[in-house]
Chains A and B, each alone.
Chain A
Amino acid sequence: NAGVTQTPKFQVLKTGQSMTLQCAQDMNHEYMSWYRQDPGMGLRLIHYSVGAGITDQGEVPNGYNVSRSTTEDFPLRLLSAAPSQTSVYFCASSYPSGLGTGELFFGEGSRLTVL
């Protein structure tokens, strides 16, 4: 199993450009999520999905869109990039147990710089 795969690993954008961060998992996990990590701010939840066709907003959803057309893929779209979106982005997935949330498996991260 490859686990959680994110692409690209590095990206530089100009203000106003749009782009999509790709995330795929091969573990048949129902739950997928996107976080951004900024110094001193921890991991902040952007959007998450509990299954194909279902998405919900997290703590910092503004400026980002997601969709979940398949169990495997959960792309994150930046509609009009701003310097405040410069960050490291992590995709994560888990297979919820009967008691709720299970262990999150993270991708390697995508470092995005917006000039």
Chain B
Amino acid sequence: GENVEQHPSTLSVQEGDSAVIKCTYSDSASNYFPWYKQELGKRPQLIIDIRSNVGEKKDQRIAVTLNKTAKHFSLHITETQPEDSAVYFCAGNQAGTALIFGKGTTLSVSS
């Protein structure tokens, strides 16, 4: 089955800096790679996703890149703000259906 590894587990940045979180996956059949943000005490919510037929996708300050050959994908957040502080999860879809999540990255943005 799919195995998704995520790093770093914690990341601290100053407001205005960029943050990068990286994930690797094992199932070459995976074709969907979403990123979820979870604020304290809340449910996870999708912030951006990418499919295997696309190399990069951008939405305002966030972007995701995918390298299918190396089986890794990354989340990039530019001009970080205190409200970006949260836990971020990457995921890959096992056998094209079930989403398998990484262990999460706790991002802290200090002002």
Q: Is B44 an interface residue (CB 8 A)?
A: yes
Q: In the bound complex, how far is the Cα of B6 from the Cα of A56, in angstroms? A: 25
Of A40, A58, A59, A107, which contacts B43 at CB under 8 A?
Answer: A107
Q: In the bound complex, how far is the Cα of B46 from the Cα of A58, in angstroms? A: 21
- By the criterion CB–CB under 8 Å, are A43 and B101 in contact? yes
Using an 8 Å CB-CB cutoff, how does the interface string of A83-98 with B read, 1 for contact, 0 for none?
Answer: 0000000100000100
CB distance from A25 to the nearest CB of B (A): 13
| CB interface residues, A 31-59, toward B, < 8 Å | 31, 33, 35, 40-45, 48, 50, 56, 58-59
User: Which residues of A lie under 8 Å from residue B44 when comparing CB positions?
Assistant: 43, 90, 104, 106
CB distance from A50 to the nearest CB of B (A): 6
Of A42, A99, A100, A108, which contacts B101 at CB under 8 A?
Answer: A42
- By the criterion CB–CB under 8 Å, are A100 and B102 in contact? no
Stretch at the interface among B14-22, B61-69, B89-97: B89-97
- By the criterion CB–CB under 8 Å, are A45 and B96 in contact? no
Q: Is B86 an interface residue (CB 8 A)?
A: no
CB distance from B66 to the nearest CB of A (A): 14
Number of A-B pairs whose CB atoms are under 8 Å?
62
User: Which residues of A lie under 8 Å from residue B89 when comparing CB positions?
Assistant: 42-43
Of A35, A100, A106, which contacts B97 at CB under 8 A?
Answer: A100
* Contacts from B to A (Cβ < 8 Å): 1, 6, 9, 31-32, 34, 36, 43-46, 49, 51, 53, 89, 93, 96-104
Q: What are 21 A-B residue pairs whose CB atoms fall within 8 Å in the complex?
A: A31-B97, A33-B99, A41-B103, A42-B104, A43-B101, A45-B98, A45-B100, A59-B100, A96-B97, A99-B31, A99-B32, A99-B51, A99-B53, A100-B31, A100-B51, A101-B32, A101-B93, A101-B97, A103-B34, A106-B44, A106-B45
